Amino acid sequence: KLIDVFEIPRPKLFINMLPSWGGVDCKRIIKNDLTPFDGECMGITLPCPAWKDGKEALEAEARICRFLKEVIIPLAVETNAVILCGGLAGICVLATLLHRVVDLEKSKWGSKLPFTIINYCNILAPLYETEHDKADSKITCVWKDLRSKSANWKARDDAIKQALKELAQRQDDAKQASDAEKPAENKHQ
């Protein structure tokens, strides 16, 4: 059904890039407090480094890029594959590196890739943060088209926006309370 909705040529292969935390970008995002992720997630205590140092991380990512370029991308081209991967920029190292490699290789194929990449996002807050496209963005937010065509989504859209607004307010309140406690803790030390 999804293939028909997106008018994707029939693939011979589906490649599912499972969410993979811990890349260089992910560590930067968490370190700079640009995400609400904290504590336990998928068996990993966040924030945490996946490698012992930055050099080891970059070397590992270079090996992953080489594998994507030499194995996964040629296989995707040969099979007209559909590649499913996480849609939160910088969070999934596999998705981040896949897009990096595709950007470097796409001059081989012209304006149309010989495979399809579908980014998914199961966390609504970052998705709705893309509500207003930036003029200079190269990314097309297909989710807005899907929302406009889905009766169920349209019916729940206002409630979703309200819930996300309330969640953001609770997070802001909790952060302010935490920040207010920090100076008091420092006085006692």
List beta partners, residue 86: 120
List pLDDT tens digits, range 123-144. Answer: 777 777 766 555 555 555 677 7
Predicted confidence (pLDDT) at residue 80 exceeds the cutoff of 90? yes
Question: Does 61 have pLDDT greater than 60?
Answer: yes
Q: Pick 47 or 13 by higher pLDDT.
A: 13
Q: Greater confidence, 61 or 135?
A: 61
Paired residues of 117 in beta bridges = 83
Looking at the predicted structure, is the pLDDT value of residue 34 above 50?
no
**115 against 91, higher pLDDT:** 115
- Give the N- to C-terminal CA distance of the chain in Å, as an integer: 61
> Is residue 67's pLDDT more than 80?
yes
